[in-house]
């Protein structure tokens, strides 16, 4: 038994080493090639062989009742051999796989190894848990077969997760802002004022929910992602009517800024879709996309940090620092977009103009947030307006944001992901 476990331990070590190895320099594997398809085919076949071996092992040990160590060694060797074949296939794919594809394959194969170890150990304790543990191995093998089919799919799948994180953060605080404004309007009406209509607020709330549902459905094209909203628990604890005017003003600017961060993550996914899948320039495309994925993760992380700082009551200095850090990530991502192989030489002036407009509008949100300062009354709300009309005020929208939305709607990028998030004034 120790000899089988030692072989599995070595397999686990080999998988970890492959995942941590420096990224390969392969000019043809961004979109997949015949060579990569053949190697991945072996990975799929070997995972099916491991499934069958694990199921056969569980049945034979269960039929034997209390299996002896000699029996476990004899029939368990076939399971370990099948597991080694899976590992060998994964190692064969590794030289043609970018970092995140190797990570996805490594996670799935490691789970298969761990399941195999647990199955062998359980056989020594009796037949009671063998069917369940064989099922664990089968589930791990299914995950092996569900790994991305190319570097392009792997990178875009991870990029969509970052997009989802930023979008969920914006949606959560947009809903909080709508609730706070509705509560303020109700209070104003009770005092004899003329706040914005509740029906308008409800309509906007429904629009936010509809956009979130549409994005979640469309993202399944890229492999799906978990809707892991870090702020859901806060809704039950916060009474929107307790949010002061200053916090509402800061919340408004913060939400708008997060929408621009979300927009940048969408731009990155769009650009990945436009990159050539194979042939000349595929190596450059793969390198650019992997770097873009780093920017996407940074954007998602910064959106979360801004969201944490946005939850009332605010600490204005901390919120401004979080937004400025997010703005630095936003600018870095837009700079990286300009380095895209598709954007070289100013080949797409309309799209690049859209990026430039988004950059300018995000800068405005940071500046206006800084103007609000640490006020908590109507003076802070007036500072948030920055001289332009605000939602519910009946004045014209601040210049630029409507143009940004129009440009987003007009942009036609090949194989674009879900519709552009609307940045509302």
pLDDT tens sequence across 75-93: 888 999 999 999 999 998 8
- Regarding whether 244 and 129 lie in a shared domain, the answer is no
pLDDT digits (tens, 9 = 90+) for 151-171: 888 888 899 999 999 999 989
In a domain, residue 416? The reply is no
- Which whole number is the average pLDDT over 50-65? 85
In a domain, residue 55? The reply is yes
- Regarding whether 257 and 213 lie in a shared domain, the answer is yes
- Regarding whether 38 and 136 lie in a shared domain, the answer is yes
In a domain, residue 235? The reply is yes
- Regarding whether 119 and 215 lie in a shared domain, the answer is no
Please say if the pLDDT value at position 409 is more than 70. Answer: no
- Which domain CATH number covers 95? 1.20.1420.10
- Alpha-helical (H) ranges within 191-281 are 198-219, 232-235, 245-274
- Regarding whether 257 and 379 lie in a shared domain, the answer is yes
Q: Is the peptide bond before 236 cis (omega within 30 degrees of 0)?
A: no
Long-range CB contacts (within 8 A, 24+) of 283-288 = 283/25, 283/26, 283/27, 283/28, 283/30, 284/341, 285/30, 285/341, 286/26, 286/29, 286/30, 286/98, 286/151, 286/152, 286/155, 288/336, 288/339, 288/340, 288/341
Q: Where among 99, 118, 145 does a domain terminate? A: 145
- Regarding whether 328 and 305 lie in a shared domain, the answer is yes
Taking a C-beta distance cutoff of 8 angstroms, is the pair 47, 86 a contact?
yes
> At a CB cut-off of 8 Å and minimum separation 6, what does 331 contact?
359
Q: Where among 88, 110, 145 does a domain terminate? A: 145
- Regarding whether 177 and 97 lie in a shared domain, the answer is no
Query: Residue 400 has what pLDDT?
Result: 38
Structural domain span for residue 266: 151-410
In a domain, residue 220? The reply is yes
- Regarding whether 157 and 141 lie in a shared domain, the answer is no
Q: How far apart are CA 391 and CA 385, in angstroms?
A: 9
Query: Residue 411 has what pLDDT?
Result: 39
- Regarding whether 287 and 177 lie in a shared domain, the answer is yes
Q: How far apart are CA 102 and CA 158, in angstroms?
A: 13
In a domain, residue 423? The reply is no
Please say if the pLDDT value at position 419 is more than 80. Answer: no
In a domain, residue 419? The reply is no
Q: For residue 100, what are the CA distances in angstroms to 41, 137, 146?
A: 19, 23, 14
Q: Chain-wide mean pLDDT for the chain?
A: 76
- Structure tokens that stand for 199 in this block: 């029906």
- Regarding whether 406 and 291 lie in a shared domain, the answer is yes
Lowest mean pLDDT among 76-90, 231-245, 254-268: 231-245
pLDDT digits (tens, 9 = 90+) for 323-347: 999 999 999 999 999 888 887 655 6
- Regarding whether 234 and 116 lie in a shared domain, the answer is no
In a domain, residue 269? The reply is yes
- Of the candidates 20, 17, 4, 15, which has an alpha carbon nearest to the alpha carbon of residue 110? 15
pLDDT digits (tens, 9 = 90+) for 357-376: 999 999 998 999 888 866 55
| Max CA separation in the chain (angstroms) | 87
What is the 8-class DSSP label of residue 402?
H
- Regarding whether 182 and 251 lie in a shared domain, the answer is yes
Taking a C-beta distance cutoff of 8 angstroms, is the pair 326, 388 a contact?
no
pLDDT digits (tens, 9 = 90+) for 271-320: 888 887 665 567 788 888 889 999 999 999 999 999 999 888 888 899 99
Q: For residue 297, what are the CA distances in angstroms to 146, 302, 366, 378?
A: 23, 9, 21, 36
Q: Where among 145, 174, 195 does a domain terminate? A: 145
Residues, the chain: 425
In a domain, residue 422? The reply is no
Tally of domains within the chain? 2
Please say if the pLDDT value at position 25 is more than 70. Answer: no
Q: For residue 387, what are the CA distances in angstroms to 28, 382, 423?
A: 53, 8, 19
């Amino acid at each position: 038994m120790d000899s089988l476990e030692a072989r599995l331990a070595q397999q686990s070590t080999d998988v970890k080493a492959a995942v941590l190895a420096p990224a390969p320099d392969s000019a043809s594997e961004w979109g997949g090639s015949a060579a990569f398809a053949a190697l991945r085919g072996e990975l799929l076949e070997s995972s099916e062989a491991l499934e069958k071996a694990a199921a056969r092992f569980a049945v034979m040990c269960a039929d034997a009742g209390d299996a002896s160590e000699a029996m476990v060694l004899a029939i368990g060797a076939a399971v370990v051999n099948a597991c080694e074949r899976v590992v060998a296939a994964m190692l064969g794919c590794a030289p043609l796989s970018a970092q995140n594809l190797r990570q996805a394959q490594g996670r799935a194969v490691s789970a298969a190894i761990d399941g195999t170890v647990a199955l062998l150990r359980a056989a020594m304790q009796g037949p009671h848990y063998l069917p369940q543990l064989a099922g664990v191995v089968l589930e791990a093998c299914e995950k092996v077969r569900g790994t991305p089919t190319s570097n392009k799919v792997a990178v875009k799948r991870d990029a969509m997760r970052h997009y989802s994180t930023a979008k969920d953060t914006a949606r959560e605080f947009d809903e909080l802002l709508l609730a706070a404004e509705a509560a303020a309007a109700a209070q104003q009406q009770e005092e004899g004022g003329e706040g914005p209509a509740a029906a308008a607020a409800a309509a906007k709330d429904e629009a936010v929910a509809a956009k979130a549902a549409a994005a979640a459905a469309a993202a399944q094209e890229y492999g799906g992602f978990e809707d892991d909203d870090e702020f859901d628990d806060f809704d039950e604890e916060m009474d929107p009517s307790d949010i002061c005017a200053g916090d509402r003003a800061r919340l408004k600017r913060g939400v708008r800024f997060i929408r621009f961060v979300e927009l940048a993550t969408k731009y990155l996914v769009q650009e990945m879709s436009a990159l050539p899948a194979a042939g000349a320039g595929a190596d450059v495309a793969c390198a650019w996309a992997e770097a873009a994925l780093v920017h996407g993760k940074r954007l998602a992380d910064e959106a979360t940090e801004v969201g944490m700082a946005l939850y009332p009551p605010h600490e204005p200095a901390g919120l401004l620092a979080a937004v400025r850090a997010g703005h630095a990530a936003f600018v870095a991502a837009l700079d990286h977009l300009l380095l895209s192989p598709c954007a070289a030489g100013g080949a797409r002036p309309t799209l690049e103009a859209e990026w430039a407009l988004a950059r300018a509008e995000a800068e405005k949100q940071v500046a206006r947030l800084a103007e609000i300062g640490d006020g908590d009354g109507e003076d802070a709300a007036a500072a948030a307006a920055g001289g332009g009309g605000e939602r519910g005020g009946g004045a014209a929208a601040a210049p630029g944001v409507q143009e940004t939305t129009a440009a987003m709607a007009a942009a036609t990028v090949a194989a674009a992901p879900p519709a552009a998030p609307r940045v509302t004034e």
